[in-house]
Structure 1
Amino acid sequence: MRGNKLHKDTLVIHEGYDDKAHHGSLTTPIYQTSTFSFESAKQGELRFSGEEAGPIYSRLGNPTVHVLEERMKMLENGKGALAFGSGMAAVSTVLVHLTKSGDHILCTRGIYGCTFGLLSIMEEKYNITHDLIRMGTEEEIEKAIKPETVCIYVETPINPTMELVDLHAVVNVAKRHGLKVVVDNTFSSPYLQNPLTIGVDFVLHSATKYINGHGDVIAGLLVGNDKDEMDKIRMSAQKDYGGIISPFDAWLLIRGLKTLPVRMERHTSNAEKLLAYLKNHPLVEQVFYPFDEDNPQYEIAKRQMSAGGGLISFTIKGGRDEAQHFMDSLSLIKIAVSLGDAETLIQHPATMTHSVVPEEKRLAMGITDSLIRLSVGLENADDLLADLAGAFEKMKVTEVNTNI
């Protein structure tokens, strides 16, 4: 049984792998090799010409990597998938593929700090410009499109403000203007959101995060809705640019994907418990979470996501000093700039992940000095709540001592 007869929770364990072709090995083997030998010179000729399928050289394709790509293609309902050595390799690959000198990229007003850095390099070196806008309505998107615009780049939920973008609205505008749409789906994972089914052209992931889920690999993934275009990207990005993933890292992602459904359910249930606590704490000013019923974008979240996921952002009373004091007062929750791990992680975007963004633009994105991003892990929720409560209590003590 394969394809539509099986649920994705099952396919995420089995898709793309036939143990009979690998000596009955239950686990996908790691083909830790740089090259593959041919049975004859003629076979080598046929494979290089594309007339015969089969491995040639691991920069051009590897059996372990192939399993990962097939599994991700299924999860995102795509026609082709490519694995990379980092999430930024996936971002740079698709943007380089879609643009040339003089083109324009329209982006959500909030984007990952290194994506912002890449866009700045593309503008400075290659005159590929970009604009950051809210994308709140179709009219707002339409107004920002220029004659030289070639693609729309979207994060939703946006890192780290958790602001949502209505993908149906973006796709509607893009189709009217013949533009490609790229969505960074890292925060949701393919378990909670599938932008390609809405009409998006490309979906990418920092696979370091939820896809892997164990904090022990750096990787990226790109999935597209056009097989021929994905094959073209493969030949440029991997054959010529060389932005490939190692077989061992691919194997780690295959392992991580097997537990993606159960992990995402636990991340979400824990986040919902912490959300209820943070919303009612007197030292918290605002909380940002997609499936918060008080979130003005809650209806958008319900239309394009199946659950809220494991990320919460919130602002604390005060500024940078108070935010850092709160973080330093935690003991179980780790200060680290990643997400999607088994461990709960916390970071201060203004001075960490988005410190590269100039202050004026950072504030326009909604990234204030009091904003904190919390990646809720798989621990017992009661232990996490106790850690948060202890940190808030230390803040209260400091506040009292300061006022004496």
Structure 2
Amino acid sequence: MTKRPETLAAQALHQTDRETGAVIPPIHPATTYMRDENNALVGEMDYRRPKGPTEMQAANVLAALEGAADARLFSSGLAAIAAILDTLEIGAHVVAQTEMYYGAKKLLHHLAAKGLISLTFFEPHDKMGLKQAVQAGKTELVWIETPANPSWAVVDVAYAAEIAHAAGAILGVDGTCSPPCTTRALDLGADLVMHSATKYLNGHSDVLMGAVVTKSQDERWEKLCTGHHLTGAVPSAFDSWLMMRGLRTLFVRFERQSANALKVAEAMKAHGAVSHVLYPGLEDHPGHAIAARQMTNGFGGLLSIRLKGGPEAARKLCASTEVFLQATSIGGVESLIEHRKPIEGPSSPTPDNLVRLSCGIEAADDLIEDLKKALDRT
């Protein structure tokens, strides 16, 4: 029978332990593997850096959820992005958003400053700006993130793929904030999808990991796998096992986080101290229609609010909550709050009165009460 993605995730592709009958796969921490008297490998693995059993088990589950031809795990999300950029020709033209994860943007600027790539940026909501930025025969990579962190602007993946492919470029998507339980970007036309697996995929704030999945095992994918092997930016076996454990509850976690975020967003719209609520699940969000088409099982647990009291009010709010923990990250089962501008630095386009919220799986009423009390105090 053809199994639905929820079943594939919950059962981790039925990767049980055949030796013991354990219903979950074991962790294989070994770094090297035996050969026989003819120097032939006893099994499929020879050394864990290119690929180990536990890492490949977790990667295979993710590939199945994404509908991907293959997947690789990395030691962090930025290592995964770097691996994609390493497949580009020297001097390649890259088109990317003005609003995105600030670490990825810093990496792009770093490579451009060294002359390794050239850069053109476009506003995430501006389709014409994207079309004008892409240059036929020159642009090699179009890089998008949707929803865009931390404004949660929405980019039309199918349109971006159409523009990129018409120019002979590939489309890479940062799917960290829209995981495969709600968006399968490869089905929408993306060529590569990257995740900071630290976030929703693992979901428990105890793993640092990145992942890349591919639509096809082409020449570029071979380059990426070679770089993966040569640079050694691989996760540990234990982290890979933890991420696979997290994938088993991805669908139920994301559903609860989405429901909580929508309730919080609606409550914040009605609060007098809040000037803007940024959440693609709200019908008045500029990107709601596109998000509803792309995010088929919820809009996620991430939203931002902007405070009428400015940056000082934002700082005080983040220091005053009790249920929301003041910390950097997103996608975990615990709710987090952060005054984002000071984290990203003075060159960031993020407004200085913006507070980013990552809603976990707690009771929604507790989250709302916590924010209201903190806003009243500030």
Q: Normalization by structure 2: what TM-score? A: 0.95
Number of aligned residue pairs: give it: 376
Residue in structure 2 matched with residue 293 of structure 1 by the alignment? 283
Identify unmatched segments of 5+ residues in structure 2.
Answer: none
Residue in structure 1 matched with residue 23 of structure 2 by the alignment? 26
Are 2:255 and 1:265 aligned?
Answer: yes
Are 2:116 and 1:119 aligned?
Answer: no
Residue in structure 2 matched with residue 86 of structure 1 by the alignment? 76
- How big is the shift at 1:20? 5.5
Contact 1:110 1:132 in 2 (8 A): no
Are 2:363 and 1:380 aligned?
Answer: yes
- How big is the shift at 1:231? 5.3
- Which amino acid in structure 2 is aligned with residue 66 of structure 1? M
Contact 2:198 2:208 in 1 (8 A): yes
Residue in structure 1 matched with residue 376 of structure 2 by the alignment? 393
Residue in structure 1 matched with residue 213 of structure 2 by the alignment? 223
- How big is the shift at 1:19? 2.4
Residue in structure 2 matched with residue 11 of structure 1 by the alignment? 8
- How big is the shift at 1:137? 4.8
Q: Distance in 2 between matches of 1:127 and 1:20?
A: 46
- How big is the shift at 1:250? 0.2
Q: Distance in 2 between matches of 1:15 and 1:255?
A: 8
Q: Distance in 1 between matches of 2:281 and 2:225?
A: 40
Q: Distance in 1 between matches of 2:203 and 2:60?
A: 19
- The DSSP-based 3-state class of the residue aligned with 1:239 is helix
Question: Structure 1 residues 145, 136: closer, same or farther in 2, change over 3 A?
Answer: same
CA displacement 1:21-74 (0-9 Å, x = unmatched): 443221111101111111233414xx9xxxxx7011000111111111110001
Question: Structure 1 residues 286, 244: closer, same or farther in 2, change over 3 A?
Answer: same
Question: Structure 1 residues 136, 388: closer, same or farther in 2, change over 3 A?
Answer: closer
CA displacement 1:303-338 (0-9 Å, x = unmatched): 111121100111011222110011111122101110
- Which amino acid in structure 1 is aligned with residue 358 of structure 2? S
- How big is the shift at 1:349? 1.6
Q: Distance in 2 between matches of 1:85 and 1:114?
A: 15
- Which amino acid in structure 2 is aligned with residue 325 of structure 1? K
Residue in structure 2 matched with residue 322 of structure 1 by the alignment? 313
Q: Distance in 2 between matches of 1:375 and 1:111?
A: 16
Which among 119, 122, 134 is matched to residue 145 of structure 1?
134
- The DSSP-based 3-state class of the residue aligned with 1:200 is coil
CA displacement 1:140-174 (0-9 Å, x = unmatched): 22211235321100010001000001112111111
Contact 2:99 2:124 in 1 (8 A): no
Superposed, 1:160-171 pairs within 5 Å as 160-171=150-161
Identify unmatched segments of 5+ residues in structure 1.
Answer: 48-52, 396-404
- Which amino acid in structure 2 is aligned with residue 312 of structure 1? L
Are 2:33 and 1:36 aligned?
Answer: yes
Q: Distance in 2 between matches of 1:215 and 1:164?
A: 25
- Which amino acid in structure 2 is aligned with residue 101 of structure 1? I
- Which amino acid in structure 1 is aligned with residue 36 of structure 2? E
- The DSSP-based 3-state class of the residue aligned with 1:182 is strand
Q: Distance in 2 between matches of 1:137 and 1:331?
A: 38
Runs of 4+ with >4 A deviation: none
Are 2:302 and 1:311 aligned?
Answer: yes
How many percent identity over aligned positions?
A: 33
Contact 2:260 2:359 in 1 (8 A): yes
Are 2:274 and 1:284 aligned?
Answer: yes
Q: Distance in 1 between matches of 2:224 and 2:89?
A: 18
Q: Distance in 2 between matches of 1:138 and 1:299?
A: 15
Contact 1:347 1:372 in 2 (8 A): yes
- How big is the shift at 1:16? 4.2
Contact 2:280 2:287 in 1 (8 A): yes
Question: Structure 1 residues 135, 376: closer, same or farther in 2, change over 3 A?
Answer: closer
What root-mean-square deviation, in Å, do the aligned CA atoms of Structure 1 and Structure 2 show? 1.7
CA displacement 1:97-137 (0-9 Å, x = unmatched): 1x222111100111111111111211122331212211445
Question: Structure 1 residues 90, 308: closer, same or farther in 2, change over 3 A?
Answer: same
Residue in structure 2 matched with residue 178 of structure 1 by the alignment? 168
CA displacement 1:269-308 (0-9 Å, x = unmatched): 1111111100110110011111101112111111111121
Contact 2:15 2:24 in 1 (8 A): no
- How big is the shift at 1:236? 1.8
- The DSSP-based 3-state class of the residue aligned with 1:248 is helix
Q: Distance in 2 between matches of 1:231 and 1:173?
A: 21
Are 2:91 and 1:102 aligned?
Answer: yes
Q: Normalization by structure 1: what TM-score? A: 0.89
Contact 1:17 1:67 in 2 (8 A): no
- How big is the shift at 1:230? 6.8
Question: Structure 1 residues 385, 135: closer, same or farther in 2, change over 3 A?
Answer: closer
Which among 115, 123, 126 is matched to residue 134 of structure 1?
123
- Which amino acid in structure 2 is aligned with residue 79 of structure 1? A
Q: Distance in 1 between matches of 2:252 and 2:225?
A: 35
Contact 1:346 1:375 in 2 (8 A): yes
